[in-house]
Amino acid sequence: MKILLTGRNGQVGYELERSLQGLGEIVAVDRKVMDLSDPGKLREVIRTVKPALIVNPAAYTAVDQAESELDIAMCINAEAPALMAEEARKLGAALIHYSTDYVFDGEKAGSYVEEDMPNPQNAYGRSKLAGEQAIRSSGVRHLILRTSWVYGTRGKNFLRTVQRLASEREELRIVADQFGAPTWARTIAEATAHMLVKLQAQARAPGGRLIPDEAWQDHAGVYHLTAQGRTSWHGFTQAIVGQLDLPRKPGVAPIRTSEYPLPARRPQNSVLCSDKFMQAFCTLPDWESALRLCLAA
Ligand SMILES: NC(=O)c1ccc[n+]([C@@H]2O[C@H](COP(=O)([O-])OP(=O)(O)OC[C@H]3O[C@@H](n4cnc5c(N)ncnc54)[C@H](OP(=O)(O)O)[C@@H]3O)[C@@H](O)[C@H]2O)c1
């Protein structure tokens, strides 16, 4: 059975292409093969591949740029997933889609659960929420996995920026009043694979769909999927610098969000509670262990 995977060169897409091996025939595409801003191409690729499952980690992820490019962000994060959902439903296929902690406003004291009311504070968050809503209202069998503060060994991410700056500067000044859970892209991909194995194992009869209908009845919907624990960007930076092998390590000074103004407003607390995912599918590592593994990789 075919799995159509988007965004194969992204942080999560790259890891998914490896983690999903063995679960089906993976057809992994990039922007050149399937540009999400081209509805005709999107439909054409889906109709040609005829997947049993679409896994969509591709997204417009430039949070600050989205403030001045809302149309493009909406096109890729909302309209393209809506179209994928429509095409998947027509084929009888399912859709796994990724979303973000930035759908929340950050005002909650504790961690956010799936039932909490979204209230995005920036254009990126609004576009991702619109994507979630389009998928939910399409009637397609779906799972939406919200994650946070994604980093990895490739691409542009906070870990790689800190690694570079740590060897160039004597001091790093990092925001200490925003809280979240840094999550390794590989954790997300491996947890997705575990989830699929578990869903497939629910088959009451041999054969049939990639994921049996009973599994969808029991498990479809939104899940939070992040590393466990919480920290600030400052705490994350201290942990990264602490593990770097450098002759001279820079100091890490805490600053307030107001001292580092950016175009997009960030939630102050975007810690997501992943208990629902862990109860249904598999445990998730704490952020510090995952960071150690990522740096070792
Ligand atoms: N990064 C984070 O901190 C973070 C936090 C919370 C949630 N998320 C969510 O997690 C998911 C995965 O994020 P990520 O960190 O893996 O993102 P990423 O590394 O930025 O990768 C995004 C991928 O989407 C592709 N893409 C963008 N525009 C496209 C278009 N028009 N047509 C086709 N492909 C396009 C990119 O292609 P190119 O390589 O060609 O640019 C890239 O491969 C996304 O849904 C994101 O919203 C991310």
Looking at residues 55-68, what average pLDDT do you find?
98
Nearest CA to ligand 1 atom 34: 31
What is residue 205's predicted lDDT score, i.e. its pLDDT? 46
Give tens-digit pLDDT for 170-186: 999 999 999 999 999 99
pLDDT at 76 over 80: yes
Query: Is 124 in the active site?
Result: yes
Is the entire prediction scored with pTM above 0.85? yes
**Side chain identity, residue 255:** I
Range 127-153 average pLDDT: 97
Closest C-alpha residue for ligand 1 atom 21: 10
For residue 210, is pLDDT > 90?
Answer: no
> Which residues does a 6 A CB cutoff place in the pocket of ligand 1?
7, 9-13, 30-31, 35-37, 57-61, 76, 98, 100-101, 128, 147-150, 155, 185
Residue-averaged pLDDT of the chain: 95
- What is the residue-wise DSSP string for 50-116? --SEEEE------TTGGGT-HHHHHIIIIIHHHHHHHHHHHHT-EEEEEEEGGGS-S--SSPBPTTS
Give how far the C-alpha of residue 171 lies from the chain's centroid of Cα atoms, to the nearest Å: 30
Per-residue pLDDT tens over the stretch 213-263? 777 777 889 999 999 999 999 999 999 999 998 889 999 999 999 999 999
Rounded CA-CA distance 135/200 in Å is 22
Mutate which of 6, 9, 45, 150 for ligand 1 pocket (most atoms within 8 A of beta carbon): 150
Nearest partner of 173 among 234, 232, 244, 262, judged by Cα: 234
Q: Higher model confidence: residue 151 or residue 155?
A: 151
Residue 234 CB neighbours (<10 A): 19
Catalytic option among 124, 151, 223, 260 = 124
Q: Locate 48 and state its tokens.
A: 């040609």
